[in-house]
Amino acid sequence: MNIFEKIKSYFKKPAFAAEFNKNEKAVKESAIQVFQNYLKIKADLQISDVRFDEKISFKVQYQGSIVPFSISSNSGVISGNTTEEKISNILELIAVGLSFDLNLVEISQLLRD
């Protein structure tokens, strides 16, 4: 399962679907809260030790944890024309994953697979 499938599975949970059908307003408010959480997380992410060859390797620091990432350059996850754009897009995915309560280690593994 890749990170996209993991995040999509969040929306397929029976509890989520039942809540959406029962109270659409509450679900919309929850989505807004997730987005606000994402913005806060994105601002708190720090990156270091970036290396770019056949893989993009770097370390991400968030809330006292430092986790190494290594993603194949041929991965469908990486988009962008420059290294900076690629790293920025990867950080977006990391922030989204964290906002859906995935942890850094799990996100690192999902992006590597």
- Per-residue pLDDT of 94-107, as tens digits, reads 888 888 888 899 98
Q: pLDDT at position 8, please?
A: 60
Q: pLDDT at position 21, please?
A: 63
Encoding tokens for residue 113?
A: 């697979």
R_g over Cα of the chain: 15
Which run of H or of E encompasses 45?
none
CA 109 to chain centre: 11
Q: Does 93 or 83 have the greater pLDDT score?
A: 93
- Per-residue pLDDT of 10-58, as tens digits, reads 555 555 555 556 666 776 777 777 778 878 888 889 999 988 888 889 9
3-state secondary structure of 39: helix
Q: Where are the domains of the chain?
A: 3-112
Cα separation of 59 and 52, whole Å?
A: 12
Q: Whole-model pTM?
A: 0.70
